[in-house]
Amino acid sequence: MNFLKPKSNDHNILLVGKTGSGFGDTRGVMQDDDNITNILETVIPQANLSSVVLVINGSDARLTEDLKYVISCLRSNLPDDLFENTLVVFTNCVEPNFSIESLEIPGVEKEGRNFTMQNSAFGQEYNKIAARAQKQRVTDWNNSMETVDEIIEVISHFHPKSTKSFSEIASARETIAQVLHEIINYIIDSLKVKKVLDRNRGSVENQGSQLIKRMEFEPTEDPNLICMLCNKVCNYGCKLNTTYNRLCSSITLLGKCKKCGCKAKNHYHLRKKLVEKERTLAYLLEEMKQKDTSVVVASTKKKVITLNGEIDGLSAYQNSKDELATTADQVEKISNNIEQKVDSLRVAVIKVKGVCSGYNLNEIDKRLKQIEEKSKETITNENIREDFEKKVKQLKDKIVEIKELYKKPIGEKKE
């Protein structure tokens, strides 16, 4: 179970267990994702949180894979400072059958923030069991009530933690989704340019004025709900004042977008809108050069293409064909080098790991896989699809480097 109990001496307590709508849901990992979102959305409106109480079946013979997964989910979603206020309650036992230390929850064992409860009271009806069992049940019940009093006493001395860190984690997650979306669009744009150049043997001399369609971001006053899978805006002028998309008016109670049907986690909010534009090949090439400092552009006496003046730029291009001559190899270098855009991904990872050191970086792989598969559906040309897969593979290699670099908490020395 998981729910917020705000009436315990004015202390907000988050109870998390491996049942019903908690972690390790029997309906599968996808349901777990929804449950985690529900938990976070319950917590975020609160100003503070006094304690997290993790309820575990202590009668399990060992630390099961399911339980390891539950702990992983917890560590990937809770801010580090909240672990100072985390308790573990083992049920159905006098002592747990596995090492408390194996849970890898900071301070739970050393600081004595663990308790046991033999809750036999939830068995058969009292009057249907033997007298000896009845006596044992009364003992178990009294012991459990004493344990509850101890737990409440411990929690009452905790200093409540601000829930601001939850918003910071959610904001970093949104940034990761946004950056991945932008990188995929960038890759697709570069491949469109390469396709035209390949057709013309690497020269723009005869193709500089050719128009190419692409999606562009334009600034807006209010944030918009954007789907990274459908590559479109699902809700314009969203008044949402939180980082949790499930609270957006465009998202149903089941956690799906009313407009596109994708899950809330595949969306993010941004003060920009996506607009389809037609740009000339010459314009796109110059833009790519200006954005990518790793490509050395031949020096010229005058700027050939201005990004804010495409008409003037095209006119200049017509008079400067030799200066603008670009080979497919140069474009290949441009599309290969996504280092600058990956830097934004690194910044988001540093931000989330700084607040939540247990954040599971494999989430990035899951998001990228989803947007990759969706994007491939829109690519009909087999050669372009093959090139797209190669570029995404390069992106994945970059992500592996990020994961390796930040797999430990920020600031922790690597062995």
Give the start-end residues of each E strand in 291-358: none
- The 3-state DSSP class for residue 226 equals strand
Considering 162, 182, 202, which residue would you say is the last residue of a domain?
162
334, 192: one domain: yes
Report how far apart the first and last C-alpha atoms of the chain are (Å, whole number).
38
300, 369: one domain: yes
Task: Report yes or no on 228 lying in a domain.
Answer: no
Which of 296, 315, 291 lies closest to 305, judged by CA? 315
The string of DSSP letters for 248-282 reads: STTB-TTSBBTTT--BGGGEEEEEEEEEEEEEEHH
Task: Report yes or no on 11 lying in a domain.
Answer: yes
pLDDT of the residue at 204 = 57
170, 149: one domain: no
8-state DSSP, 378: T
85, 206: one domain: no
- Over residues 312-344, the pLDDT tens digits come to 444 444 444 444 444 555 555 555 556 777 888
Domain, as residue range, for 62: 2-162
89, 205: one domain: no
In the predicted structure, residue 281 carries a pLDDT above the cut 50: yes
Q: From residue 230, give the alpha-carbon distance in Å to each of 122, 233, 267, 268, 374.
A: 49, 9, 9, 12, 8
177, 321: one domain: yes
Banded model confidence at residue 27, pLDDT cuts 50, 70, 90: low
- The percent of residues above 70 in pLDDT, for the chain, comes to 75
Q: What is the mean pLDDT of the chain?
A: 77
349, 383: one domain: yes
The string of DSSP letters for 121-190 reads: GGSS-GGGS-HHHHHHHHHHHHHHHHHHHHHHHHHHTSPPEETHHHHHHHHHHHHHHHHHHHHHHHHHHH
363, 388: one domain: yes
In the predicted structure, residue 172 carries a pLDDT above the cut 80: yes
- Over residues 116-140, the pLDDT tens digits come to 888 776 677 777 888 888 888 888 8
pTM equals: 0.75
- Tokens representing residue 177 in the block: 């989704």
Banded model confidence at residue 292, pLDDT cuts 50, 70, 90: low
209, 307: one domain: yes
pLDDT of the residue at 409 = 54
Task: Report yes or no on 209 lying in a domain.
Answer: yes
pLDDT of the residue at 277 = 92
Contact (CB, 8 A) for 226 and 267:
yes
Say how many domains are in the chain. 2
Residue of higher predicted confidence among 85 and 203: 85
Contact (CB, 8 A) for 73 and 32:
yes
